[in-house]
Amino acid sequence: MAEAAKDVASGAVVTLDGSTSTDANGDTLSYIWTLTTRPAGSAATLTGADTARPSFTADVDGAYEITLIVNDGKVNSTATVVTVTASVPNGVPLANAGLVQNVPTGVQVILDGSASSDADGEALSFTWTLTSTPTGSTAALIRADTARPTFTADVAGTYVAKLTVSDGKASSTPSETTVTASTPSAADFTFTPSGATAPVTIRFTPTPAANMVVERYEWDFDGNGTIDVTDTVGRNQSRTFSTPGTFAVSLKTTDSSGRTETQVRNIVIGNAPPVVTVSAIPTNGSAPLSVDFRATATDSNGVASFEWDFNGDGTYDRTINGTSGNTTFVYTTIGNFQPRLRVTDTLGAATEISPPNMEVRSAPPNSAQAALSLSRSNGTAPLAVTLSAEAANLMGRTIQTYQWDPEGDGTFNATTTASNYAFSYASGGIYYPRVRMTLSDGSQVEDVKVLTVTSSVSLTLDTDTLDIQLAQTIAVNTVLSAATKVSLVIESRSGTHIRTLLPLTSRSAGTYSESWDGKSDGGKYVPEDIYKVVLLHELNGAMQRLDLSTTTGGQEYSPPRTDIPSTFEPYNGRPLTIDFTLARASEVTAFMGSFNVDTRYVTFYTRRPLGRGTHRITWSGDNADGQIIKSGPGDSFLFGIFGYTLPNNGVFVRNGVQLSAMNSSPPIFDPTGLTSAAGPSLCNVQFSISLPANMELVVRDAITGALINRLEYPNLPAGANTVRWDGKASDGRYVAPGTYRLGLTAVQANGFRSLSSFVLQRVYY
């Protein structure tokens, strides 16, 4: 009786066991084992086939069937069958939950497990859980079974996310990452790119939570307590980080009253492993075979060592310290070997590489030696390459056929009698073309080379401003230099997924165009804000992101504006009006300060997103607290305005109510006066709104800035409107004679608030 079926690793020596066979009469048994079935390409044979415990080597993947018959000297038994299945042992996948993040509360956080890996290259499934959330949080993961799930950091505190990945056979050890959420501050800032490796230049953008009168921005980029940059405008800053580590970058803001606020964010700069190039010459020939290995590596921190595993058995045979890994090894044993190289930098990051073009085939004496050459070793797809083959040490033999595998995928595309083969590579990637030559004596020789085929993708937009109220769309144009799989997605500035514009699709080389109407995946129009278009494309089997926001945008310029008059009279209904024009969508900072003294009185916008077109600022001579101000003796007001360009893939979506043409009448208002027998006069505030909205009117004392009253006017239609103030404070009593600042804001049902407009109103009894 043969033992039960078993699973073994490919290449293992399998020992069978028929010793439990019996005879009813107790006669001595003889054994007849037969290897009846073996996988294609296997050369397995039984050793000791007439013993109770024969063996064989399961040399290739697949199923082996062995039959056993025993004989007691008189009669054979019924045959029993054992099946042995050989396969490569499954490698346990490795989970990587991504970098630690620091975010403001209320934002949607994107976790990233895309750096998880599997040693066998098998597809991974993802399982995320939030193992810890701050007290009071109701955060829940969305798409927790994908590589990049999201959740909303609804309260301040630390969130812990755990990721486990599986290749369908084994699950990884869990990996954790933390997200720390904090309340937005006036000293807030963003940075891009995130999750980078050194050396890298990081761009920092101040993003105050409100239009504060900030007079000074102070940056400390390395967290050593020393201010590196002081700025009075709020410009973008950049810093190059040459070494890995965690840097506590801080921004300290100071307003006109001397109040300060500081925001600190940890910028994690990773250590990139070495970039390695290897080759082996020759890769085949008669033993003893001397092979020259060439290895070069680049690393920003310097290379510490090269470790060679010449036999590919998992044991590193030779270590070379220094900047070159060149070495020679003599193969005295006949067989095929897959050498491996590990290169480690001075900080411990390592790259392991074992490409097919480094496979060594050490053959018996007098074997032929194959040599494959390529008409070019690199180029841009579509790339035409001629593969040529020759053999040395033929010793009177002739080459009968050439088998060609130009893509190195294990499938021979053609068999020829010619020594060359032309092939065109339509897609970018790294290929390992192979030739197999069959000689007149039936022997075969092979050689493999490496070929790098590059491809390029580009993305442009026909406009950067999309006005939903005008039912506009934008055209997203892409150019592919080679066939590949692509997808287009719309994201918020922080990277939150908004819309899949183009699902993952295989496309040939060419020019394509898609349009976006400003809607999300759910079919609803997105809120007014800046969004970005990202092109995802496949290269070497991995998805790449073309996100132009990491390399473009943020350029400072001065938008053209109308001339500013030398005087203005806000008390007499002549406020200062300034029109400025944006030739492209931008973030705008505008303020009024002192000409001679570095003092900012009021900030109209701080990095406010605005679309193309002409915009108006109206100023009544008041500061941020609603108080009327005057320039000092011999001084005058200074208007400052700066624009900051959007990235080349950025779109400003205008989808909020716009307030314009605000004025009030009569110029001097007597609340107790009668306009008719019907009752007292009213202050009429006229304006136009682009969409239906609720209106909020705020009345302040123009001298002290004190809040006098706050009134709401619901459900006003789009177009010209008038709201009225009866001259009373919130306590129902008439206000004292004087000058008052009326501020009007349109508020939509979704919470969007328009830019506020202001006018000065004189009250006289």
User: Read out DSSP for 246-267?
Assistant: EEEEEEEEEETTS-EEEEEEEE
pLDDT at 580: 96
User: Read out DSSP for 124-141?
Assistant: -EEEEEEEE--TT-----
Q: 201-215, 298-312, 415-429, 498-512: which has the minimum mean pLDDT?
A: 201-215
User: Read out DSSP for 312-324?
Assistant: -SS---EEEESSB
Confidence of residue 282 (pLDDT cuts 50, 70, 90): very high
Q: How many CB atoms lie within 10 A of CB 68?
A: 24
The identity of residue 242, as a single letter, is S
Residue owning tokens 């994908």: 146
Q: How is residue 485 written in tokens? A: 């799989």
Which segments of 367-476 does DSSP mark as H helices, in order?
Answer: none
Residue 678 has pLDDT above 60, yes or no: no
pLDDT at 249: 96
Burial call 473-506: b when 16+ CB within 10 Å, e when fewer:
ebebebebbbbbebbbbbbbbebebbbebbeeee
**pLDDT above 70 as % of the chain:** 95
- Average pLDDT estimate for 504-530: 94
| CA–CA distance, 310 with 318 (Å, rounded to integer) | 8
Q: How many CB atoms lie within 10 A of CB 52?
A: 17
Residue owning tokens 């303020």: 591
Residue owning tokens 């003889």: 30
The identity of residue 244, as a single letter, is P
**pLDDT above 90 as % of the chain:** 60
Residue 398 has pLDDT above 90, yes or no: yes
pLDDT at 622: 81
Asked if residues 612 and 526 have their Cβ atoms less than 8 Å apart, the reply is: no
Whether the upstream peptide bond of residue 666 has omega within 30° of 0, thus cis, is: yes
The identity of residue 307, as a single letter, is E
The identity of residue 688, as a single letter, is S
| CA–CA distance, 200 with 198 (Å, rounded to integer) | 5
Sequence-ordered list of residues with C-beta below 8 angstroms from that of 633, at least 6 positions apart, any chain? none
Residue 185 has pLDDT above 80, yes or no: no
CA atoms within 13 A on the CB side of 642: 14
Asked if residues 557 and 237 have their Cβ atoms less than 8 Å apart, the reply is: no
Sequence-ordered list of residues with C-beta below 8 angstroms from that of 182, at least 6 positions apart, any chain? 102, 103, 104, 105, 156
SS3 state of residue 233: coil
- Average pLDDT estimate for 537-545: 87
pLDDT at 492: 92
| CA–CA distance, 178 with 613 (Å, rounded to integer) | 43
Q: 80-94, 433-447, 562-576, 584-598: which has the minimum mean pLDDT?
A: 562-576
| CA–CA distance, 6 with 14 (Å, rounded to integer) | 10
Confidence of residue 180 (pLDDT cuts 50, 70, 90): confident
pLDDT at 184: 57
pLDDT at 703: 82
pLDDT at 629: 78
Residue 321 has pLDDT above 60, yes or no: yes
**Edge-first strand listing for the sheet containing 80-87:** 6-9, 80-87, 62-71, 30-37
Asked if residues 277 and 295 have their Cβ atoms less than 8 Å apart, the reply is: yes
Residue 721 has pLDDT above 60, yes or no: yes
SS3 state of residue 570: helix
Q: How many CB atoms lie within 10 A of CB 303?
A: 23
Asked if residues 584 and 666 have their Cβ atoms less than 8 Å apart, the reply is: no
Asked if residues 614 and 560 have their Cβ atoms less than 8 Å apart, the reply is: no
Q: 219-233, 335-349, 503-517, 632-646: which has the minimum mean pLDDT?
A: 632-646
DSSP E strands, 462-612 = 465-467, 474-480, 484-492, 497-507, 510-516, 529-539, 542-546, 556-557, 576-582, 586-594, 600-610
Average pLDDT, rounded, for the chain: 90
pLDDT at 104: 65
pLDDT at 601: 80
User: By 3-state DSSP, what share of the chain in percent is helix, strand and coil, each rounded to 5?
Assistant: 0, 55, 45
Q: Bridge-partner residues for 305, per DSSP?
A: 321, 344
Question: Rounded to 5 degrees, what are φ and ψ at 744?
Answer: -120, 135
| CA–CA distance, 305 with 302 (Å, rounded to integer) | 10
Strongest mean pLDDT among 117-121, 356-360, 565-569, 661-665: 356-360
Question: Rounded to 5 degrees, what are φ and ψ at 251?
Answer: -125, 125
Residue 110 has pLDDT above 90, yes or no: no
Asked if residues 431 and 409 have their Cβ atoms less than 8 Å apart, the reply is: no
Domains of the chain: 6-87 (2.60.40.10), 91-183 (2.60.40.10), 184-271 (2.60.40.10), 272-366 (2.60.40.10), 368-454 (2.60.40.10), 456-550 (2.60.40.4070), 659-763 (2.60.40.4070)
Sequence-ordered list of residues with C-beta below 8 angstroms from that of 136, at least 6 positions apart, any chain? 155
pLDDT at 679: 56
pTM more than 0.85: no
